[in-house]
Amino acid sequence: MHWVFTPDTPIYLQVVSQLEQMIASGLLSPGDKLSSVREFAAQANVNPNTMQKALTELENRGIVYSRRTSGRFITDDPQRIAKLREELADKVVSDFLSAMNRLGYSESEAAGFISDKLLSSSKKGK
């Protein structure tokens, strides 16, 4: 896993976001056992307390669960993962529309922009 952090948001929230994206995209599968806090912290080059806080947040959101002696696992609830994907997609679209609005595009112009990009992308794929 490649971890990228920026200075504008607390690191634990960035860890949460990146793990959510890995789960929603299928990079991490339902029921997968997660690395230990120390292993994850070493991989991400963050403090173990930061990683613990991020994993606890994911547990609170119902995306990860713990088994006392076995570790943490990704939820195997397909509806929870589908809901996560939808939430992440909604945020991406909202952020896109806000950015387009700041550039002076209306919502219909932004939709037209996406349609044009999809058309040109599908033509390239043929």
Are 64 and 55 in contact by the 8 Å Cβ rule? The answer is: yes
Residue 12 Ramachandran class (φ > 0 left, ψ -120 to 50 alpha, else beta): alpha
Burial class of 41 by CB neighbour count within 10 A (0 to 12, 13 to 18, 19+): buried
Look at residue 53 and tell me whether its pLDDT is greater than 90.
yes
Which SS3 state, helix, strand or coil, does residue 70 take? coil
pLDDT band at 69 (very low <50, low <70, confident <90, very high): confident
Query: Cβ atoms within 10 A of the Cβ of 46, count?
Result: 19
Look at residue 125 and tell me whether its pLDDT is greater than 70.
no
Mean pLDDT of the chain: 93
pTM: 0.83
